[in-house]
Amino acid sequence: MIKPRSFVVTLTTLTALAFAPVFATLVSAPAAAAKRKPATTKAKAGRTKKVDRRADAFNTLKSGLKSANFHTRGMAYVGIAYNKKDKEVKALLKDGTQDPQWVVRAGVAQAYMHLKDSAWKQLVRDGLMRATLDPREVLPVLDVLKDSEAVAAVIAVIADKEHERQNQIVDGMLARNQDRLGLFVVTALKSKDALVNAAGVRMLKQLTPVMHGRHLAFIAAKLGKDSGVIAMLVAVANKAETTSEWGYLKSLKPDKKDVALQQSLAMARARYGDRTVGSAVLAIAAAMKGDAQIQALEAYKKIASKSDVASLKKLLDGEPDKRLIFSVYEILALVGDRSMSGEAQKLANGTNVDLRPTGVYYLGRVGGAGQLRAMHTYLKDALPEVRLASARVLAWIASPVSVQPIRETLDYEKDREIRKALIFALASIKHKDAVQALMFYTREPDMEMRRRVVRALAESGEKEARQGLQTALRDRSKEVRVEAVRGFLMSDKANSVRVWNRSLGWLPRGTLIAFTAEFKETFESFLELALFSKRVEMREEALEALALLPKNQPALLRKVLQSTDDDDLRVRVLNRLVKLEGKKAGTEIKSLALSSSARVRVAAIRHMGLLLKDKEARELLERFLDEPNQAVRVAAALTYVGG
Q: In the predicted model, is pLDDT for residue 3 greater than 70?
A: no
Instruction: Work out the number of other CB atoms within 10 angstroms of the CB of residue 501.
Output: 14
- Round to whole Å and give the CA distance between 244 and 237: 8
Residue 269, burial from CB neighbour count under 10 angstroms (0-12, 13-18, 19+): buried
Q: In the predicted model, is pLDDT for residue 602 greater than 90?
A: yes
| Mean pLDDT, residues 8-27 taken together | 34
| Mean pLDDT, residues 584-611 taken together | 92
Confidence of residue 39 (pLDDT cuts 50, 70, 90): very low
Using an 8 Å Cβ cutoff, are 584 and 610 in contact?
Answer: no
Domain-located, residue 509: no
Calculate the alpha carbon distances from 81 to 58, 71, 76, 107 in Å: 10, 16, 9, 10
pLDDT in tens, 48-83: 556 688 899 999 999 999 999 999 999 999 999 999
- Cα dihedral 404, 406, 410, 414 sign: positive
Domain-located, residue 318: yes
- Cα dihedral 332, 336, 341, 344 sign: positive
Domain-located, residue 617: yes
pLDDT given for residue 29 in this prediction: 34
Counted domains in the chain: 2
The mean pLDDT value of the chain amounts to: 88
pLDDT given for residue 31 in this prediction: 38
- Round to whole Å and give the CA distance between 514 and 213: 12
Q: Which of 520, 527, 596 shows the shortest CA–CA distance to 560?
A: 527
pLDDT given for residue 48 in this prediction: 54
Domain-located, residue 308: yes
Domain-located, residue 576: yes
pLDDT given for residue 90 in this prediction: 92
pTM: 0.84
In order, the DSSP letters of 89-133 are HHHHHHHHTT-S-HHHHHHHHHHHHHTT-THHHHHHHHHHH-TTS
Q: Please tell me what DSSP assigns to residue 84.
A: T
Q: In the predicted model, is pLDDT for residue 241 greater than 90?
A: no
Confidence of residue 460 (pLDDT cuts 50, 70, 90): confident
Cβ-proximal residues to 376 (8 Å cutoff; 6+ apart), any chain: 390, 394, 402, 405
Question: Of 288, 311, 333, which one is at a domain's C-terminal end?
Answer: 333
pLDDT given for residue 25 in this prediction: 36
Using an 8 Å Cβ cutoff, are 432 and 462 in contact?
Answer: yes
Show the beta-strand stretches assigned E in 14-55.
Answer: none
pLDDT given for residue 109 in this prediction: 96
- Round to whole Å and give the CA distance between 269 and 248: 10
Domain-located, residue 237: no
Question: Of 314, 333, 352, which one is at a domain's C-terminal end?
Answer: 333
| Mean pLDDT, residues 486-507 taken together | 92
- Round to whole Å and give the CA distance between 431 and 398: 9
Question: Of 293, 313, 333, which one is at a domain's C-terminal end?
Answer: 333
Domain hosting 596: range is 550-643
Reduced to 3 states (helix: H, G, I; strand: E, B; else coil), residue 317 is: coil
- Round to whole Å and give the CA distance between 226 and 208: 20
- Round to whole Å and give the CA distance between 96 and 110: 12
Using an 8 Å Cβ cutoff, are 93 and 108 in contact?
Answer: yes
Domain-located, residue 593: yes
Domain-located, residue 642: yes
pLDDT given for residue 14 in this prediction: 29
- What end-to-end distance do the CA atoms of the chain give, in Å? 81
pLDDT in tens, 557-571: 999 999 999 999 999
| Mean pLDDT, residues 468-481 taken together | 93
Cβ-proximal residues to 377 (8 Å cutoff; 6+ apart), any chain: none
Using an 8 Å Cβ cutoff, are 369 and 397 in contact?
Answer: yes
Q: Check which CATH number belongs to the domain holding 586 and give it.
A: 1.25.10.10
Q: In the predicted model, is pLDDT for residue 360 greater than 50?
A: yes
- Rg for the chain (alpha carbons), in Å? 38
pLDDT in tens, 113-145: 999 999 999 999 999 999 999 999 999 999 999
Distance of CA 35 to the CA centre of its chain: 74
pLDDT given for residue 50 in this prediction: 62
Calculate the alpha carbon distances from 84 to 65, 87, 404 in Å: 17, 8, 85
- Residues making up the chain, counted from first to last: 643
- Round to whole Å and give the CA distance between 517 and 486: 13
Cβ-proximal residues to 530 (8 Å cutoff; 6+ apart), any chain: 504, 512, 538, 539, 541, 542, 545
pLDDT given for residue 482 in this prediction: 95
Q: In the predicted model, is pLDDT for residue 43 greater than 60?
A: no
pLDDT given for residue 53 in this prediction: 83
Confidence of residue 220 (pLDDT cuts 50, 70, 90): very high
| Mean pLDDT, residues 280-287 taken together | 91
